[in-house]
């Protein structure tokens, strides 16, 4: 069903079924003018032969792997060059939407500074191009010489590729790979394990809820799947049916869009959740078993209102009203996530927020929270190999590693992400990096293996389980790879083979097909109806005669997609996959509050992922660098958000260069004074200040990760703690011309004043009916005050 794809309106020659790929041949779409193209770019594609006419648009389905959300996309190709990315209208996660980062995958693909040939550090100390054989030989020799001392760091989201890395690591005799991922996801899993008894990222049914309290989850910014949650939020708030309350210290984009924003004191999110629980239980509106389930989690009683208000810095009346609204709501839901849970006690805070769902009866009901289940293809590919390690394990391993150590880093940039690893990288015998760019880590590599980007790859992705419905999405390459870039999975297999422990598959695609084939066999063997980690739901394999046909059908159909019926509630604290017996979980309210600020310049630093740069991977795309951050409106580079009150006190004006001093490092960057920042806290986007990463990212902005203390960990999660960091802030100077933050549309003069309180669309009435075209038939006055909900557009 691809009616929505008729957007181009080009006559269509449908070639495949269900969006596997679509071919739109156009008679009339000639190159209008001006598109200069180099002939050498028109390399014959070894991947597929196009049936299209020259100059005609061919739309190919692909999967966006810019983050783990797994949005299905369509790529417009003309003459085998990718031109445009659109969301697949019936995409499993995104339903037609694409985010800014997703669009920019094109600029990753065609980046002028891509690594397109293997390189090896020569005798001169410089990286020199070598053949794939030589590069693999060098890497494999080092691995084979010291398999125990080999550390694999895999940056891919969880799913089949991570499974393959686990398998490869186990095969060559190396310890399990370190899964380089944001702390937030690990904390969320751990919190879910504590609250729900199942260590999966919870799935939220925002769209069908009517009252959502998001404790810290910046789901409209850059958290899990902003496209999916954006659409869900739009449904939630359509006609102002439902309400979103954002409990977050930083005024994120989500907070900006929320119907109500509670700017809690940083690190007190969990306390607020506990306080709310106390009020909700006192309201007596919830069934006894829900109360019991909640109370069983905690040894302590929830804090009282006054204590909560005091700890959170929020007016008690507001908390009370919030609790009352929550209690009255028909289908309330509490979400948890974000930088708030990356503090040392993040797991406790996250669990406290998630546990509210038990009380609200939101677990497993429409408009509530579900288990984030998948088809388990990571494990299917991993086989018997052990689970991947959390990021902090890298630091621990490196600390104990000698000079013979081998580091294999695939699609991750740990040197940008965490300070203090440089020395270990220097010490390591051989650093092998699989990357498409010279990022901070790649620049220190001894062997660089160029990998393909999203659109060049065979893709098998298990999307972020935001919907609670399992899926495995598969897509073929959309365009020919640039230069000699290879699939990272293929490289992993080639490394294993070169190291003398070959796996049965020549490439990643074969590995995935083999896993599919195995899943088919296991499902048939389980004899229908069975489900679980081994077998697939029987409905998915019904109709296929044999494994071969099943694999063919699955890949042709673009993967396996579950149904709404497969959604289920988490196992529950009593019975789940928690190893230990259920018992009291840490209560954030009884943990000590983060140390009070020392002196007037001590601020809580809130590093956040902006929708431009994400964790830093967006920094090399000119589109994203030049994209104004929606709130600070800064383009190109980093900034620190300072509250108006603090700025007045410290004499900081927008644009001033300020110095942030952490325990081990200091950074200097321009200040943006905003009325929305919670006094006492400052926000800095991560992802700037790359040592390298191509011409658009190199030394652009500053890397706030430098302020992190690598020894601080999120308790119980094995992740580096990024939250609750104390820094000193001091004003240095007015910026020089070249230091001024690039603020959208606001020149030299207004860099200091951001218009506040003047929304011009509220300043005057709309005009009367138009004599010329008559298209506006009614005089529409903007209604500032609450108007009765209207449904007219929805009809």
Partner 1 sequence: MTDRPQASARALDGELLGRLDRRRSGLLVGSLASGVLVLVFFYCWGYQIANGIGVTGINRPVFWGFYIINFVFWIGISHAGTLISAILRVTKAEWRRPVTRSAEAITLFALAIGGLFPLIHLGRVAIFYYMIPYPNSRMLWPNFRSPLVWDIAAITTYIIGSALYLFLPLIPDAAVMRDRAAAGLKKRFYAVLALGWRGTAQQWHSLEWGIRILAVAIIPVAVSVHTIVSWDFAMTQTPGWKSTIFGPYFVVGAIFSGIAVLMIAMALLRRGLALDRFLTDRVFNNLGLLFVTMSLVWGYFTFAEHLTVWYSGDLFEKNVHHVLLHGDFAVPFWTMVVVNLVIPVAVLSFPRGRRPLPTALVGCGVLVGMWLERFLIVVPALSTPRLAYSIGDYLPSWVELGIMIGAIGVFACLYFTFTQLLPIVSVWEMREGWRHAAGGGESGQPSGAAPASPAAASPVAGGGAA
Partner 2 sequence: MTRWGMAIDLDRCTGCEACVVACAAENNIQTVGEEQAREGRAMHWLRIERYYEGEFPNVRTRFMPVLCQQCGAAPCEPVCPVYATYRNPEGLNAMVYSRCIGTRFCANNCPYTVRVFNWFDAEFPAPLDSQLNPDVSVRPGGVMEKCTFCVQRIQAGKDEAAQEEREVADGEIKTACQQSCPTKAIAFGDLEDPDSEVSRWAESPRAFSLLGDLDTRPGVVYLSGTEWREPAE
Mapped to the 3 state alphabet, what secondary structure does 110-167 carry? CCCCECCCCEEECCCCCEEECCHHHHHHHHHHHHHHCHHHEEEEECCCCCHHHHHHHH
Q: Which is nearer to partner 1, 527 or 760 (CB)?
A: 760
Answer for which of 678, 713, 722, 726 binds partner 2 (CB under 8 A) is 678
Contacts to partner 1 from residues 376-395, by CB under 8 A: none
Minimum Å distance from CB 753 to partner 1? Answer: 8
Contacts of 640 (CB under 8 A, 6+ apart): 658, 660, 669, 670, 671, 672, 682, 683, 684, 729
Answer for which of 631, 691, 707, 729 binds partner 2 (CB under 8 A) is 631
Answer for which of 643, 673, 682, 697 binds partner 2 (CB under 8 A) is 643
CB 305 within 8 A of CB 275: yes
Q: Which is nearer to partner 1, 30 or 748 (CB)?
A: 748
Q: Cα 649–652–656 angle (5° rounding)?
A: 170
Q: Which is nearer to partner 2, 583 or 782 (CB)?
A: 782
Q: Give the per-residue contact string, 756-775, with partner 2 (x = CB under 8 A; - = no).
A: xxxxxx--xxxx--x-xx-x
Q: Give the per-residue contact string, 606-635, with partner 1 (x = CB under 8 A; - = no).
A: ---------------------------x--
Neighbours of 381 (CB within 10 A): 28
Minimum Å distance from CB 240 to partner 2? Answer: 5
Minimum Å distance from CB 254 to partner 2? Answer: 8
Calpha distance 738→54 (Å, rounded): 45
Name the binder of 613 from partner 2, partner 1, none, CB < 5-8 A by kind. Answer: none
Minimum Å distance from CB 776 to partner 1? Answer: 20
Q: Which residues make beta-bridge pairs with 608?
A: 685
Answer for which of 15, 31, 282, 574 binds partner 2 (CB under 8 A) is 31
Minimum Å distance from CB 755 to partner 1? Answer: 4
Sign of CA dihedral 34, 37, 42, 47: negative
Q: Which is nearer to partner 1, 42 or 766 (CB)?
A: 766
Minimum Å distance from CB 784 to partner 1? Answer: 16
Minimum Å distance from CB 108 to partner 2? Answer: 11
Neighbours of 467 (CB within 10 A): 22
Name the binder of 749 from partner 2, partner 1, none, CB < 5-8 A by kind. Answer: partner 1
Q: Which is nearer to partner 2, 97 or 470 (CB)?
A: 97
Q: How far apart are the first and last CA of the chain?
A: 22
Calpha distance 320→755 (Å, rounded): 33
Contacts of 735 (CB under 8 A, 6+ apart): 655, 656, 657, 670, 741
Minimum Å distance from CB 656 to partner 2? Answer: 16
Answer for which of 155, 477, 637, 718 binds partner 2 (CB under 8 A) is 637
Contacts to partner 1 from residues 706-765, by CB under 8 A: 744-750, 755, 758, 760, 763
Q: Which residues make beta-bridge pairs with 211?
A: 243, 332
Minimum Å distance from CB 750 to partner 1? Answer: 4
Minimum Å distance from CB 734 to partner 2? Answer: 15
Contacts to partner 2 from residues 697-716, by CB under 8 A: 700
Q: Which is nearer to partner 2, 193 or 467 (CB)?
A: 467
Contacts to partner 2 from residues 188-217, by CB under 8 A: 210
Minimum Å distance from CB 272 to partner 2? Answer: 14
Q: Is 231 in the site for partner 2 (CB under 8 A)?
A: yes
Q: Give the per-residue contact string, 40-79, with partner 2 (x = CB under 8 A; - = no).
A: -x-------------x----------------------x-
Contacts of 290 (CB under 8 A, 6+ apart): 358, 359, 360, 361
CB 678 within 8 A of CB 251: yes
Q: Is 749 in the site for partner 2 (CB under 8 A)?
A: no
Q: Is 627 in the site for partner 2 (CB under 8 A)?
A: yes
Contacts to partner 1 from residues 204-233, by CB under 8 A: none
Q: Is 644 in the site for partner 2 (CB under 8 A)?
A: yes
Q: Which is nearer to partner 2, 40 or 123 (CB)?
A: 40
Minimum Å distance from CB 747 to partner 2? Answer: 5
Name the binder of 96 from partner 1, partner 2, none, CB < 5-8 A by kind. Answer: partner 2
Contacts to partner 2 from residues 726-745, by CB under 8 A: 738, 740, 742, 744-745
> Token pair 């650093």 is at which residue?
431
Q: Is 397 in the site for partner 2 (CB under 8 A)?
A: no
Q: Is 110 in the site for partner 2 (CB under 8 A)?
A: yes
Q: Is 277 in the site for partner 2 (CB under 8 A)?
A: no
Name the binder of 533 from partner 1, partner 2, none, CB < 5-8 A by kind. Answer: none
Q: Which long-range contacts (C-beta less than 8 Å, at least 24 apart) are formed by 749-754?
A: 751/654, 751/655, 752/653, 752/654, 752/655, 753/654, 754/633, 754/654, 754/673, 754/674
Q: Is 251 in the site for partner 2 (CB under 8 A)?
A: yes
Calpha distance 38→652 (Å, rounded): 49
Calpha distance 723→264 (Å, rounded): 14
Q: Which is nearer to partner 1, 599 or 765 (CB)?
A: 765
CB 616 within 8 A of CB 441: no
Minimum Å distance from CB 21 to partner 2? Answer: 18
Calpha distance 191→183 (Å, rounded): 12
Tokens linked to 447: 């062997």
Q: What are phi and psi of 2, to 5 degrees?
A: -130, 35
Sign of CA dihedral 485, 487, 493, 495: positive
Q: What are phi and psi of 440, to 5 degrees?
A: -60, -40
Q: Which residues make beta-bridge pairs with 154?
A: 179, 410
Footprint of partner 1 (CB under 8 A): 633, 744-750, 755, 758, 760, 763
């Amino acid at each position: 069903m691809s009616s929505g794809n008729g957007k181009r309106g080009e006559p269509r020659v449908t070639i495949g079924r269900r969006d596997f790929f679509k071919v739109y041949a156009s008679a009339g779409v000639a190159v209008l003018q001006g598109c200069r193209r180099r002939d050498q770019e028109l390399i014959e594609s070894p991947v597929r032969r196009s049936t299209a006419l020259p100059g005609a648009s061919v739309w190919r389905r692909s999967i966006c792997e810019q983050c783990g959300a797994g949005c299905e996309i369509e790529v417009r190709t003309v003459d085998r060059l990718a031109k445009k990315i659109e969301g697949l209208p019936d995409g499993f996660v995104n339903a037609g939407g694409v985010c800014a980062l997703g669009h920019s995958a094109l600029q990753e693909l065609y980046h002028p500074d891509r690594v397109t040939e293997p390189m090896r550090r020569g005798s001169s100390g410089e990286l020199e191009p070598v053949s794939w054989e030589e590069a693999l030989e060098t890497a494999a020799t080092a691995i084979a010489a010291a398999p125990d001392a080999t550390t694999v760091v895999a940056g891919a989201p969880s799913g089949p590729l991570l499974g393959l890395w686990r398998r490869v690591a186990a095969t060559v005799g190396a310890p399990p790979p370190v899964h380089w991922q944001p702390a937030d996801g690990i904390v969320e899993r751990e919190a879910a394990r504590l609250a729900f008894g199942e260590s999966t990222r919870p799935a939220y049914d925002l769209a069908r809820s009517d009252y959502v309290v998001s404790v810290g989850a910046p789901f409209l910014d850059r958290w899990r799947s902003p496209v999916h949650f954006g659409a869900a939020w739009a449904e939630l708030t359509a006609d102002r049916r439902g309400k979103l309350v954002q409990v977050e210290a930083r005024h994120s984009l989500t907070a900006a869009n929320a119907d109500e924003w509670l700017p809690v004191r940083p690190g007190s999110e969990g306390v607020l959740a506990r306080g709310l629980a106390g009020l909700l239980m006192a309201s007596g509106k919830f069934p006894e078993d829900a109360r019991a389930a909640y109370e069983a989690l905690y040894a302590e009683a929830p804090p009282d209102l006054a204590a909560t208000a005091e700890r959170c810095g929020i007016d008690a009346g507001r908390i009370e009203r919030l609790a009352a609204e929550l209690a009255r709501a028909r289908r309330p839901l509490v979400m948890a996530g974000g930088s708030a849970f990356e503090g040392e006690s993040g797991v406790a805070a996250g669990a406290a927020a998630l546990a509210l769902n038990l009380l609200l009866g939101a677990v497993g009901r429409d408009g509530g929270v579900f288990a984030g289940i998948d088809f388990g293809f990571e494990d299917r590919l991993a086989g018997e190999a052990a689970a991947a390690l959390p990021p902090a394990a890298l630091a621990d391993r490196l600390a104990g590693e000698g000079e013979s150590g081998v580091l294999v880093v695939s699609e991750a940039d740990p040197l940008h992400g965490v300070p203090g690893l440089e020395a270990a990288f220097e010490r390591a015998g051989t650093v092998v990096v699989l990357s498409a760019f010279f990022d901070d880590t790649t620049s220190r590599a001894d062997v660089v293996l160029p990998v393909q980007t999203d659109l060049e790859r065979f893709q098998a992705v298990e999307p972020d389980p935001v919907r609670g419905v399992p899926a495995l999405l598969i897509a073929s390459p959309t365009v020919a790879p640039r230069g000699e870039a290879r699939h990272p999975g293929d490289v992993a297999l080639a490394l294993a083979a070169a190291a003398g422990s070959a796996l049965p598959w020549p490439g990643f695609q074969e590995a995935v097909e083999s896993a599919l084939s195995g899943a088919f066999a296991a499902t048939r063997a389980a004899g229908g109806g069975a489900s679980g980690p081994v077998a697939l739901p029987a409905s998915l394999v019904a109709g296929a005669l044999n494994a071969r046909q099943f694999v063919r059908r699955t890949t042709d159909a673009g993967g396996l997609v579950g149904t709404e019926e497969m959604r289920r509630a988490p196992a529950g604290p009593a019975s789940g996959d928690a190893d230990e017996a259920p018992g009291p979980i840490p209560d954030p309210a009884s943990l000590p509050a983060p140390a009070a600020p020392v002196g007037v310049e001590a601020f809580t630093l809130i590093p956040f992922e902006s929708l431009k740069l994400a964790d830093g991977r967006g920094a090399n795309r000119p589109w994203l660098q030049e994209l104004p951050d929606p709130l600070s409106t800064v383009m190109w580079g980093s900034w620190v958000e300072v509250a108006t009150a603090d700025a007045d006190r410290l004499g900081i004006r927008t644009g001033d260069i300020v110095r942030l001093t952490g325990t081990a490092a200091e950074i200097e960057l321009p200040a943006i004074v905003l009325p929305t920042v919670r006094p006492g806290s400052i926000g800095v986007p991560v992802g700037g200040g790359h040592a390298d990463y191509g011409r658009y990212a190199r030394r652009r902005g500053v890397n706030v990760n430098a302020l992190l203390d690598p020894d601080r960990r999120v308790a119980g999660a094995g992740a580096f703690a990024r939250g609750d960091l104390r820094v000193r802030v001091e004003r240095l100077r007015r910026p020089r011309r070249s230091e001024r933050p690039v603020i959208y549309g606001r020149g030299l003069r207004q860099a200091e004043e951001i218009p506040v309180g003047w929304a011009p669309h509220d300043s005057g009435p709309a005009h009367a009916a138009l004599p010329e075209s008559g298209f506006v038939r009614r005089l529409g006055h903007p209604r500032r005050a609450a108007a009765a909900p209207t449904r007219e557009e929805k009809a």
